[in-house]
Structures are given as C-alpha cells and as structure tokens.
C-alpha cells in the first residue's frame, strides 16, 4: 500500500536533532567496533585509526541520510518493500562512492578488498536497520488501526435509555408541538451520526455543539428541572478533543443526578485551556434523599471514558471524580492536541 502521510513514513525525519544525534552516535559505536575487531591486543589499538574510521563512517551516514531526506517525498509514495529496497540501495551507492574516493585520492592501501569489505558491512548493517524500521513502521500502523477500531467501538456506546426516552418524547411532541419535535429529531440525528464517524479527534467546538444538542433534548424532557451553566474561557479553534468524550460525562451527570431530583438542579460545566492542557470540570447535584440511587452504570460510563483517554493519550490524561452529600464532581484533563485539516 502506498504511503501517503509523511508523518507516518518508516524512515526518520533526519532534520530533527534527536534523529541526527542518534545517527552520529551509531557512527561512533560502529567505528569503535571496527577498531576493536581489527585489534589483536590492547597494544594494537590506535586512536588515529579510530578517528579515520569515525570520519569515514560519519561522512557516509550524513550523506546517506541527506539523500534519503531529499528522496523522501518520492519514496513515501512507493510501496513499503520498494521504498525499503531503494533506501538500502542508496546506502550501498554512497558507501561505494566514498570508498572509491578514498582509494583514489587519499589512501591506496587495501585496494579492492577494502572496498568490498565496506560494501559488505553497509549491506548487512544497512539491511538490518532498514528492515527493522520497516517492521516497526508496519507494527505501529497496525497498532494505530487497532486503536482506532477500539476507540470507535467505545465512542458508539450511547445509553439505550437515552434513545428510548428521546423517541418517546418525540412521539409526544409530534402532536403537541411539531416544531420542537423536528428540532429534537435533528439534534438526535447529530448525536448518532457522531457515533458512526471514524474520526478520533475533533475540534473542541464540535464536541461542545454535540453537548448542546444533547442538553436541548434533555431540557425538553426535564423542563425547568435542568439548569445548565457554561463557563468556557478562550479556547483556540484548533484545539482537539476525542470525539464524544464530554457528552457522556454530561449524560452521566444528568442520568445519575438531575433526573432523580424533583426540584430545579443546576449542571455546571467549565472548560479551561492553559496553553499545554485542556481541563474540563462537570459538577452536578447528587440524587435527593430517598430517590433511586445511581446504579453501577455510573462507574461503567466513567470507566469507558478513562479507557478512551488511556488509549489516546496514555498516562498524560486523567479523569478523576469526587463526591460529597450535595454534589458530584468530574475532572477531566488531557494534553492539548491541534486539529489536522485535510
């Protein structure tokens, strides 16, 4: 399969300092290994030979990496096996050319055997390294595909009770208030269309719009019992959030808090961005005394969100909760991720 995304290419981006330092370190270790292999005893070790080997190997590595970087836009459109072979062939050409240059203009010792030895070392080590990079790339893409499927399955879990309640509400409104019924149908379609999307991350504004669609539906059902207060600071439009992350938190807060109270209840949502992380706090009142207490689905919903955050961000994201007699607080925090536009 042709590789279209440069960020997913199997070869490192040699313009990055970290990758360049790794390349130079590899050259130093290889030069040291060759000098040690050629020495029969400690007295045979030569600093001058180590310096010559280091200079020669570093030159070959830098030129190979530079030519790969120049060829990267073309190589990344080739099938992976062909791109790997061409990169390997490029290494052999560079090493062969430098070896021939050294033999002709700098030192004539070694002759053809030295040239062939260099080519053999380049073929073996270059082949091993490039094969490892291609295998690591294939494994990484497979893991990303599996994670994408896993996240899509997790994000599709909207509670059945919400669907049934919404359909019953719409059935009632069709006769009493057709305009509200039409709006509710549109909001519901937006929510369920989101569960079918393959996108993992969306701009946070899209997630907030989905949350508003959900709240509008619940307000039709709960009336004045549901009061919502938003507190959102200036969030850049390019900041992303995993799709359907905040909406389940609101659903959880309404289902296990507001829905079990007969009096008016306020749901507070604050979204904050400090340049490095996005923090979201959802505060909802707990169920009234004597009301039906939350079921284990309360923790299942939170576990679902934690699992999605873990799959997407690892240990850098967190979802914590706290509760007292009056309120239940959900605190979500994850590192900023910018939207990618096609």
Task: Indicate which CATH number applies to the domain containing 170.
Answer: 3.30.565.10
**Is residue 168 located within the same domain as residue 101?**
no
For 287-296, the pLDDT digits (tens) are 754 444 444 4
**Is residue 120 located within the same domain as residue 171?**
no
Among residues of the chain, what percentage have pLDDT more than 90? 18
**Is residue 139 located within the same domain as residue 178?**
no
pLDDT for 255: 82
Mean pLDDT on 206-221: 89
Q: Containing domain of residue 255, as a range?
A: 156-335
Pairing mode, if any, of strands 201-203 and 240-242?
antiparallel
Judge whether 340 lies within some domain.
no
pLDDT for 4: 37
**Is residue 171 located within the same domain as residue 239?**
yes
Burial class (CB in 10 A: 0-12, 13-18, 19+), 183: middle
> 107, 125, 153 — which closes off a domain?
153
**Is residue 115 located within the same domain as residue 247?**
no
For 313-327, the pLDDT digits (tens) are 878 888 998 888 788
Give the pLDDT band (50/70/90) at residue 41: low
Higher pLDDT, 122 or 187: 122
**Is residue 145 located within the same domain as residue 213?**
no
**Is residue 193 located within the same domain as residue 320?**
yes
Please answer whether residues 11 and 75 qualify as being in contact, where contact means their C-beta atoms are separated by less than 8 angstroms.
yes
pLDDT for 148: 58
pLDDT for 333: 92
**Is residue 40 located within the same domain as residue 135?**
yes
Give how many domains the chain has, as a whole number. Answer: 2
For 180-210, the pLDDT digits (tens) are 888 888 888 887 777 767 667 888 888 899 8
pLDDT for 112: 84
pLDDT for 1: 35
Q: What is the pTM of this model?
A: 0.54
pLDDT for 341: 41
For 81-112, the pLDDT digits (tens) are 898 899 999 999 999 999 888 888 776 566 78
Distance CA 34, CA 104 (A): 22
Give the pLDDT band (50/70/90) at residue 40: low
**Is residue 98 located within the same domain as residue 238?**
no
Kindly tell me if the per-residue pLDDT of 165 is higher than 90.
Answer: no
Higher pLDDT, 175 or 129: 129
Collect all residues with Cβ–Cβ distance below 8 Å to 201 and sequence separation of at least 6. 240, 241, 242, 243, 312, 337, 339, 340
Higher pLDDT, 315 or 64: 64
**Is residue 127 located within the same domain as residue 227?**
no
**Is residue 163 located within the same domain as residue 113?**
no
**Is residue 233 located within the same domain as residue 176?**
yes
pLDDT for 332: 93
For 327-339, the pLDDT digits (tens) are 889 999 998 876 5
Kindly tell me if the per-residue pLDDT of 43 is higher than 80.
Answer: no
> 135, 153, 171 — which closes off a domain?
153
Kindly tell me if the per-residue pLDDT of 150 is higher than 60.
Answer: no
Distance CA 55, CA 102 (A): 12
> 99, 123, 153 — which closes off a domain?
153
Kindly tell me if the per-residue pLDDT of 268 is higher than 90.
Answer: yes
């Amino acid at each position: 399969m042709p590789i279209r995304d440069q960020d997913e290419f199997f070869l490192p981006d040699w313009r990055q300092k970290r990758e360049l330092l790794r390349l130079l370190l590899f050259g130093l270790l290889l030069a040291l290994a060759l000098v040690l292999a050629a020495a029969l005893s400690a007295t045979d070790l030569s600093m001058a030979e180590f310096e010559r080997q280091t200079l020669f190997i570093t030159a070959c590595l830098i030129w190979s990496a530079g030519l790969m970087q120049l060829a990267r836009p073309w190589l990344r459109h080739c099938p992976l096996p062909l791109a790997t072979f061409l990169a390997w062939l490029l290494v052999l050409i560079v090493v062969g050319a430098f070896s021939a240059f050294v033999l002709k203009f700098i030192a004539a010792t070694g002759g053809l055997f030295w040239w062939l030895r260099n080519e053999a070392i380049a073929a073996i080590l270059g082949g091993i390294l490039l094969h490892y990079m291609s295998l690591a790339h294939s494994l990484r893409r497979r893991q990303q595909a599996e994670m994408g499927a896993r996240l899509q399955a997790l994000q599709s879990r909207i509670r059945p009770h919400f669907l049934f309640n919404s359909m019953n509400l719409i059935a009632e409104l069709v006769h009493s208030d057709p305009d509200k019924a039409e709006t509710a149908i549109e909001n519901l379609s937006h929510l369920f269309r989101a569960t079918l999307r393959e996108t993992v991350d969306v701009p946070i504004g899209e997630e907030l719009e989905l949350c508003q669609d959900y709240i509008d539906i619940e307000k039709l059902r709960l009336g004045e019992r549901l009061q919502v207060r938003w507190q959102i600071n200036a969030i850049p439009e390019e900041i992303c959030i995993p799709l359907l992350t905040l909406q389940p938190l609101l659903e959880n807060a309404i289902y296990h808090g507001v829905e079990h109270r007969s009096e008016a209840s306020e749901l507070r949502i604050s979204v904050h961005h400090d340049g490095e992380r996005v923090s979201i706090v959802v505060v909802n009142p707990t169920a009234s005394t004597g009301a039906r207490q939350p079921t284990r689905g309360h923790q299942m919903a939170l576990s679902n969100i934690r699992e999605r955050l873990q799959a997407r961000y690892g240990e850098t994201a967190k979802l914590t909760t706290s509760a007292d007699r009056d309120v239940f607080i959900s605190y979500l925090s994850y590192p900023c991720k910018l939207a990618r536009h096609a």
